[in-house]
Amino acid sequence: MNRDRLLKVVVVGDNEVGKNCIFTKFKESFRKIPLEHEPTLFDNFSKLIEVDGIIYHLSVSYTTNSTGCDELRILSYPNTDVFLLCYAIDNRQSFENISSKWIPELKLHSPHTPIVLVGMRITSKRALFNSIISLPFKVSYAEGAAISKYMSAFVECSVKTGENLRAVFREAVRVALDKPKVTLIKCSLL
């Protein structure tokens, strides 16, 4: 395999935002998987993906945000080609931690590595849109797009429905190669 086509992807973000689910769904070739949360400290796998007619070998790692595991998580950062920085659109604190925790940590330990911001659980957004009550802790697409100006790309997705999951990993490859075709991928609510 051509070494130029081997890319290391590390999935980070707060606990319980869907990191493990997106990791497992991609690992299992987007097959239907249980969405229950199974806590994991660290996991990785390799998989082939086709992007723009070229096959790439992705080495994907998932890390925890558990208390006392910062050193373990940071050990996965060297030689990373792209980070997938995840937050849940139905968890305002996970979004606020993007600026207060995750960007500073990633920039400190991997200052030149591109970041794809991933808004998880867009299925929740549709449920909220279809309900009468608007809850204040939701994160809008516009808020995600605004903070993503400091990153390489932004994608919202749903592990539950599979919407935009492939786009997350295609965009990760493009960003890692420094040639993004799409920087914002928006979901339709209607």
The architecture of the domain spanning 3-185 is 3-Layer(aba) Sandwich (3.40)
Q: Around Cβ 127, how many Cβ atoms within 10 Å?
A: 11
Mean pLDDT of 87-91: 88
**Phi, psi dihedrals of residue 113, rounded to the nearest 5°:** -85, 130
| Angle separating helix axes 19-27 and 165-176, nearest 10 degrees | 90
How confident is the model over 52-78, as pLDDT tens digits?
A: 899 999 898 877 666 566 777 888 899
Mean pLDDT of 132-157: 76
| % residues pLDDT > 70 (the chain) | 69
Domain ranges in the chain are 3-185
In this prediction, residue 186 carries a pLDDT of 54
How confident is the model over 72-88, as pLDDT tens digits?
A: 788 889 999 999 999 99
In this prediction, residue 100 carries a pLDDT of 94
In this prediction, residue 95 carries a pLDDT of 92
